[in-house]
Amino acid sequence: MKTISAWSPFKQPVFRALWIATLVSNVGTWIQNVGAAWLMTSMSKSAVLVALVQVATIFPMFLLSLPAGALADIIDRRRLLLFTQAWMAAAAVILGAVTLAGLIHPWLLLTLTFMLGMGAALNGPVWQAIVPELVPRCELLQAISLNSAGFNLSRAIGPAAGGALVAAAGAGAAFVLNAVSFLGVLWVLYRWRRPAIDTVLPGERMMAAMRSGLRYVRHAPRLKAVLIRTSLFMLFSSSLFALLPLVVRYELGGGPTDYGILLGCFGVGAVSGAAVLPRLLEYVSAEALIASMTVLAAALIAVFALVPLMWVLSGAMLISGVAWLVVVSSFNVAVQTAVPAWIRARALAVYMLVFAGGLSAGSLLWGTIATHQSIRAALLYSALGVLLSLLPALRYRLILDDKSDLSPSLHWPEPHLVLEPHPEQGPILVLVEYLIDPAEARGFAQAMRPLNHIRRRDGAIRWGLFQDTAEPGRFLETFIVETWIEHLRQHERLTVADRAVEDKVFSFHTGPGRPKVSHLIYSYGRRGRQRRKVLRSLKKDSEADNDGR
């Protein structure tokens, strides 16, 4: 078998051009971040306002990640990318202009930073979702690794360059340079001729796509484990970035160059972490590696509280970059290996939402504690919290090397129809009839439990299993889907791994052939208020059932 080089994706012209343009743009973004954080310390001594700069950057991701993920799955991704890049460029131009004109003040800085964050939030899921379109499937892992390396390379270059630029020419120059950095990405996207993608079914509507994304997350245990672990780690570890400008200015007595150097050290450490992560996973389990790096991250945050010396903090930031990269990359890999392609953009969007929400809430929390107590106290509390974030690992384990086949199985036969439903007609009641040896009823019910998650995850708003009192060996599986088109999408969403679960359930069936499947359409008041009332009632009951579990 031919060995695929780590650099193979660079042979693809569009990927190569976008990688280079994105590297330049990300360097501009880090320069912008340094300028914004340092400018705020110049205008205000409030720890809360300084921490709000990071909140304004990250919080839009919390607000817009899910809509962005849905958009990435239902509209042309090239056009969405052009819009988001143009939006960020315009916001950067305005920020640079008002700063150079001397009109900037803290709340205007936060507003324009928030606008930049909105563009980044809309850009994130779609940017990750286009990677499989730019390289062959066999090179996907290498492409993702190169994107991660490029991001961390920009993290190493940008902050140091930003600190030097702010010290030499001021924050306004940093903002203008960031605006210019978007031009390369816009040019490459403009020239990219993205092939049209054929689909059998019509695209999902925006709200329906968002609901299906949330429903999937709710009924995917592996994905929920990643999200819980990510939220806690980001909440407690966010103090490192939220309070770093204050540590540099007030604890070290340094300037923007020192701030940029420390961020640059973190970036160098993150690049090193990206290089060593695969090798580390050859020797220790993912859980052991995450736990050790989490403990290391907590210890390094405590160093910032207890040893305010520039050379010590530079080393601490270098090692923190390694620890953060290993932990966060492990979470990201766990997300991507837990979901099939049809929901990947939305799953990544929810992951980014949780990531950003934890980072934003943590930044505000540590800024508030630093204001009312001290910077040192906030950092020490944060370090303790990072250690406590390991406790959920006792219940929520992460799987990075799962070999489950998540490709579409397409094994459900087309429904036999005499009456052709309208695509938006519903709700739809699906009945699956099983004939089971009554002695095997308990084992059958246990085998049905994972199938319950699959049905709900892929579109069902209600699921149940019923036994016939007159014929104890007859069981009816029932699930309800909002519309006929949503049920047809269930046919496309089933994976090869899901088929293995179904085959185990079907092995209990003693009747001829496969279990009988029937499709019933709600008919009374289907176009009016009664239909909407039924749907609301079903969803409410479904949520109550889930809460009870």
Q: What is the CATH number of the domain that holds 532?
A: 3.30.70.100
According to the model, what pLDDT value does residue 250 have? 83
351, 369, 394 - which closes a domain: 394
Reading phi first (left if > 0) and then psi (alpha if -120 to 50, else beta), residue 410 is in left
Phi, psi of 127 (to 5 degrees): -65, -40
Q: Does residue 422 fall inside a structural domain?
A: no
- Give the N- to C-terminal CA distance of the chain in Å, as an integer: 48
- pLDDT band, very low/low/confident/very high, at 525 (cuts 50, 70, 90): low
Could you tell me if 186 and 85 are in contact, meaning their C-beta atoms sit under 8 angstroms apart?
Answer: yes
Q: Does residue 493 fall inside a structural domain?
A: yes
Angle at which helix 13-43 crosses helix 77-100, to 10 degrees, equals 30
Question: Does residue 430 have a pLDDT over 90?
Answer: yes
156/80 same-domain check: yes
Higher pLDDT, 7 or 526: 7
Q: Does residue 388 fall inside a structural domain?
A: yes
126/275 same-domain check: yes
What is the residue-wise DSSP string for 232-291?
HHHHHHTHHHHSHHHIIIIIS---HHHHHHHHHHHHHHHHHHHHHHHHHTTTS-HHHHHH
338, 373, 394 - which closes a domain: 394
Between CA 81 and CA 69 the distance in angstroms is 12
Asked if the bond preceding 427 is cis, omega within 30° of 0, the reply is yes
Question: Does residue 540 have a pLDDT over 80?
Answer: no
336, 370, 394 - which closes a domain: 394
pLDDT digits (tens, 9 = 90+) for 110-167: 889 899 988 888 888 788 777 777 877 666 656 766 777 677 778 778 877 888 888 8
146/283 same-domain check: yes
Q: How many domains are contained in the chain?
A: 2
Higher pLDDT, 356 or 189: 189
Unique residue bearing structure tokens 């819980």: 228
Question: Does residue 332 have a pLDDT over 50?
Answer: yes
Q: Does residue 235 fall inside a structural domain?
A: yes
DSSP state of 516: E
pLDDT digits (tens, 9 = 90+) for 14-46: 888 988 888 888 888 888 888 888 888 888 777
Question: Does residue 452 have a pLDDT over 50?
Answer: yes
Between CA 133 and CA 524 the distance in angstroms is 45
Q: Does residue 418 fall inside a structural domain?
A: no
pLDDT digits (tens, 9 = 90+) for 483-523: 888 888 888 888 888 899 999 999 999 988 889 999 998 87
Kindly report which listed range (89-98, 200-209, 228-237) carries the lowest average pLDDT score.
200-209
CA atoms within 13 A on the CB side of 82: 13
390/497 same-domain check: no
Question: Does residue 1 have a pLDDT over 50?
Answer: no
Tell me the whole-structure pTM to 2 decimals. Answer: 0.76
Express as a percent the part of the chain with pLDDT over 70.
89
- pLDDT band, very low/low/confident/very high, at 378 (cuts 50, 70, 90): very high
According to the model, what pLDDT value does residue 199 have? 55
367/445 same-domain check: no
According to the model, what pLDDT value does residue 431 have? 93
432/389 same-domain check: no
Residue 412 three-state SS = coil
pLDDT digits (tens, 9 = 90+) for 456-466: 988 888 899 99
Higher pLDDT, 428 or 416: 428
State the average pLDDT over residues 61-71. 80
181/227 same-domain check: yes
* Cα diameter, the chain: 86
Angle at which helix 375-388 crosses helix 286-306, to 10 degrees, equals 170
Residues written for the chain: 549
48/138 same-domain check: yes
**What range does the domain containing 506 cover?**
428-548
- Closest C-alpha to 494, from 403, 399, 400, 413: 413
383/443 same-domain check: no
Could you tell me if 476 and 469 are in contact, meaning their C-beta atoms sit under 8 angstroms apart?
Answer: no
Could you tell me if 441 and 502 are in contact, meaning their C-beta atoms sit under 8 angstroms apart?
Answer: no
Amino acid symbol at 500? A
Across the beta sheet with 428-435, the strand order is 460-467, 474-481, 428-435, 516-521
482/346 same-domain check: no
Q: Does residue 423 fall inside a structural domain?
A: no
130/269 same-domain check: yes
CA atoms within 13 A on the CB side of 463: 15
Q: Can you say whether the dihedral through the CA atoms of 471, 473, 474, 478 is positive or negative?
A: positive
Q: What are the residues facing 460 on neighbouring strands?
A: 481
Between CA 169 and CA 96 the distance in angstroms is 12
According to the model, what pLDDT value does residue 379 have? 92
Mean pLDDT estimate for the chain: 82
Residue 230 three-state SS = helix
- CATH number of 166's domain: 1.20.1250.20
According to the model, what pLDDT value does residue 383 have? 92
Q: What are the residues facing 180 on neighbouring strands?
A: none
347/453 same-domain check: no
Between CA 253 and CA 268 the distance in angstroms is 24
Between CA 205 and CA 226 the distance in angstroms is 27
According to the model, what pLDDT value does residue 548 have? 45
